[in-house]
Amino acid sequence: MSARAAAAMAAANGRETVIGADFLLSMVEAHWSAKNGDASKMESGLRARQELQKIEKQITHLESAAGQDEETRQEIHQLHERVNALRREVSAHLNAWEKTELARHPQRPYTLDYVERIFTDWSEIHGDRGFGDDPAIICGMARFHGEDVMIVGHQKARDTKQKVYRNFGMPNPEGYRKALRAMEIAAKFQRPLFTFVDTPGAYPGLGAEERGQAEAIARNLREMVRLEIPIITVITGEGGSGGALAIAVADRVLMMENAIYSVISPEGCASIMWRDATKKDLAAQALKITASDLGELGCIDGVVEEPEGGAHNDHEASAALLDAALQRHYGELKGVPTRELLASRYNKFRNMAQFFHAEV
């Protein structure tokens, strides 16, 4: 931690609420821009995060060193709160396009990477009973800290052959129908549902249209609202429009810190609205697609922190952070009577995204 940053922190700490995270952020920003000149924003963002990491370590160190001195502990605690706020700010200020790239990072953990690390006794189930099995969506029974649960998630892949097999995580209608079948099995046997969202979108193909892509998505939206089990959704990477929402009508919708959730891809928006696909960074910004944007707009219930630099850097740590969040949210939903659960799920979506005024 630099002397300036420390001074800034001390100053901010003394001045309570008026000067908070914004001031600190500007100091950190000044700090690394002085050090790095015209380094790209991505670079400086990462550096800021490294800096924060160091500060956090120091605080932890100080905390243990503070011993029983109540006043010092209190001060450190306040300091910590501020750093936490700062961390969120820095994360929020990572440019939306940079986040999009992180969300699509080829080394980012995919659904099965999380399943492997967070759940046990995974047993996959296949097929929509009507047309086929869609490898772009996986469904299966598993155990979450000993409890039987159903898992549904988009599945992407890393090597070319697997990517084609998984259709780049873009489901066909039979994928959504398989998902609904799995959800209904879960509801029938009263097992909670965990869904993992990571898709560029539902597949825009000939066969998909022939077999009713829109109908399959629409049906899932309606049925998920009244599924009589607790549902927790995590947007782990890309939340690509209706193709994402079709498995994301849940009691708790969480987003990984660097995930995105959007009605259209930044490239798609850029080519339509700017008539220039290279304006994707502008579009990404304008569309408000980051986890902090979604939080501010009231469209999600929580953001799950990722390890330093992004989930791709450390699959174990990402899974551990997600696991903790899932445990907490599931713990809160677990005892809720079904009627109450359904009523609050309904009310949540009924009252979401209400951005209009009524003239009289």
Partner 1 sequence: MSNLAIEGQIQRAPNRLDLKLLNYSITQLQILVTWFKRQSGELDTSGERKVRTEGLWVKCDQCRQIIWKKDLEDNLNVCPKCDRHFRIDARTRLSQLLDENEYDVFDSNLSSTDPLKFVDLKAYKSRLHQAQEETGLQDAIINAQGKLNGRSIIVSAMEYSFIGGSMGAVVGEAITRAIERATETRMPIVIVSASGGARMMEGVISLMQLAKISAALARLDEARVPYISVLTDPTTGGVTASFAMLGDLNIAEPGALIGFAGPRVIEQTIRQKLPQGFQRAEFLLEHGMLDAVVPRKQLKPYIARALEFMQQPSDGSRRSSA
- Per the CB < 8 A criterion, the answer to whether 114 and 157 are in contact is no
d(CA 244, CA 251): 15
Task: Give the nearest distance from C-beta 296 to partner 1 in angstroms.
Answer: 10
Count CA atoms within 13 Å of residue 231 on its CB side: 31
d(CA 41, CA 232): 34
Q: Provide CB contacts within 8 A for 229, sequence distance 6+.
A: 186, 187, 190, 191, 192, 193, 338
Assess 18 for contact with partner 1 (CB under 8 A). Answer: no
Question: Binding partner 1 by CB under 8 A: which of 22, 120, 190, 205?
Answer: 205
Hey, which residues between 225 and 244 contact partner 1 (CB under 8 A)?
225-226, 241-242
Q: Which residue has the tokens 């898709």?
A: 199
Assess 213 for contact with partner 1 (CB under 8 A). Answer: yes
Name the DSSP letter for residue 290.
Answer: B
Q: Please count the residues of this chain forming the interface with partner 1, following the rule CB under 8 A.
A: 58
Hey, which residues between 58 and 117 contact partner 1 (CB under 8 A)?
none
- Per the CB < 8 A criterion, the answer to whether 291 and 234 are in contact is no
3-class secondary structure, 223: helix
Which tokens belong to 29?
A: 């920003």
Question: Binding partner 1 by CB under 8 A: which of 18, 37, 70, 355?
Answer: 355
Residue nearer to partner 1 on the CB measure, 82 or 252: 252
- Given the rule CB under 8 A, which of 112-120, 178-186, 262-270, 326-334 is the region that contacts partner 1? 262-270
- Given the rule CB under 8 A, which of 23-31, 133-141, 218-226, 326-334 is the region that contacts partner 1? 218-226
- Per the CB < 8 A criterion, the answer to whether 243 and 288 are in contact is no
Residue 206, Cβ density class (10 Å: 0-12 exposed, 13-18 middle, ≥19 buried): exposed
Question: Binding partner 1 by CB under 8 A: which of 14, 68, 71, 357?
Answer: 357
Question: Helices 96-103 and 41-66 sit at what angle, rounded to 10 degrees?
Answer: 80
- Per the CB < 8 A criterion, the answer to whether 270 and 276 are in contact is yes
Site string for partner 1, 274-313 (x = CB under 8 A): xx------xx--xxxx---xx--x-x--------------
Question: Binding partner 1 by CB under 8 A: which of 52, 261, 306, 325?
Answer: 261
- Given the rule CB under 8 A, which of 56-64, 114-122, 180-188, 255-263 is the region that contacts partner 1? 255-263
Task: Give the nearest distance from C-beta 354 to partner 1 in angstroms.
Answer: 7
Assess 5 for contact with partner 1 (CB under 8 A). Answer: no
Give the chain's radius of gyration (CA, Å): 22
d(CA 284, CA 100): 8
- Given the rule CB under 8 A, which of 75-83, 139-147, 208-216, 317-325 is the region that contacts partner 1? 208-216
Question: Binding partner 1 by CB under 8 A: which of 121, 204, 327, 343?
Answer: 204
Assess 316 for contact with partner 1 (CB under 8 A). Answer: no
Which tokens belong to 33?
A: 């821009």
Task: Give the nearest distance from C-beta 304 to partner 1 in angstroms.
Answer: 18
Beta partners for 260? 238, 290
From 350, 346, 115, 342, select the one nearest 229 (Cα to Cα).
342
Residue nearer to partner 1 on the CB measure, 220 or 318: 220
Question: Binding partner 1 by CB under 8 A: which of 6, 11, 65, 214?
Answer: 214
Write out the residues near partner 1 by the rule CB under 8 A.
202-206, 208-215, 217-219, 221-223, 225-226, 241-242, 245-246, 249, 261-264, 268-269, 272-275, 282-283, 286-289, 293-294, 297, 299, 346, 349-350, 352-360
